[in-house]
Amino acid sequence: MFKGGDITTDSEDEELSGSELDEEITWIEWFCHLKGNEFFVEVDEDYIQDDFNLTGLSSVVPYYEYALSMVLDFDDQDDNLPEDQQPLVETAAQMLYGLIHARFIMTTRGMAAMLDKYNAYVYGTCPMMQCDALNQAVLPIGTSDLLRQGAAKVYCPHCKEVYHPKSSRLECLDGAYFGTSFAHLFFMTFQHLVPQSIPQPYVPRLYGFKIHKIPKGQSQKSLTQQASGSQPAIVHQEKAHAPQEEDQEMAQALIQPTQEPNA
């Protein structure tokens, strides 16, 4: 069972009933140990209880007060909640925790917890060939700080690119739960984790020879001429008319009367 973040298998724990087992762990511990939620770190409860850290979230998350009480294991408001709205509050609690998580990982304690997951390759490795050869770990990142604007992606400090994560479970999470700034602040804090090498761009080749770039205007013009077939026709036409012009000049010279010299 989960108790204080550790797993124990004591015989006394095995004899506990389901209700007693639920009382041994907090909602945050339960949530973070769900399958697919291993990408979250456990936010400290004292951080959540500080109203300053939750500024602006009440206008974003529905059932905010109920959701906050659920996250903090406060049962005082559960009695006033209709049973048919319980699933909505549970969804709101997960949403609220995700947004709090995005703020918490920007702190010193949150960043240290994310460092452990980064070193354990929880978020996978970069799919780029040169980065994959280095077994380069990645960090989650969002394309927006707003909810429902995009799924979570991963950022590589080596090639400095953003990719779809290899884990489908990570991609199911909202990108706002990690934010747009965390990954960059993380590598500014832990600069020793940023590789010194720079990946070289891929060079296309034909039979071992590099393909040289053709000026854009020139390639477009040649393609247009080839597609329309106008260029060969013009050349052929010029070659066909050149002898006729010469024949006309010769004929005019022969027809023109010869002037007799003055006596």
62, 99 in Cβ contact below 8 A? Answer: no
pLDDT 10s digit of each residue in the chain, 263 long? 344 434 333 444 444 444 444 557 999 999 999 999 999 999 999 999 999 999 999 999 999 999 999 999 997 666 677 888 999 999 999 999 999 999 999 999 999 999 999 999 999 999 999 999 999 999 999 999 999 999 999 999 999 999 999 999 999 999 999 999 999 999 999 999 999 999 998 899 999 999 987 766 666 666 666 666 655 444 444 444 555 565 566 556 555 555 555 54
Is the pTM of the predicted complex or chain greater than 0.75? no
From 157, 168, 236, select the one nearest 190 (Cα to Cα): 157
In angstroms, the CA 168 to CA 164 distance is: 9
In angstroms, the CA 91 to CA 88 distance is: 5
In angstroms, the CA 259 to CA 201 distance is: 79
In angstroms, the CA 92 to CA 66 distance is: 9
The string of DSSP codes covering the chain is -EETTEE---HHHHT--HHHHHHTS-HHHHHHTSTT-TTSPPPPHHHHT-GGGGTTGGGTSTTHHHHHHHHTT--TTGGGS-GGGHHHHHHHHHHHHHHHHHHHTTSHHHHHHHHHHHHTTTT-B--SHHHHHTT-B-EEE-S-SSTTS-B-EEE-TTT--EE--S-HHHHTSBGGGTTTTHHHHHHHHSGGGS-SS-PPPP--EETTEEPPPPPHHHHHHHHHHHHHTHHHHHHHHHHHHHHHHHHHHHHHHHHSPPPPPP-
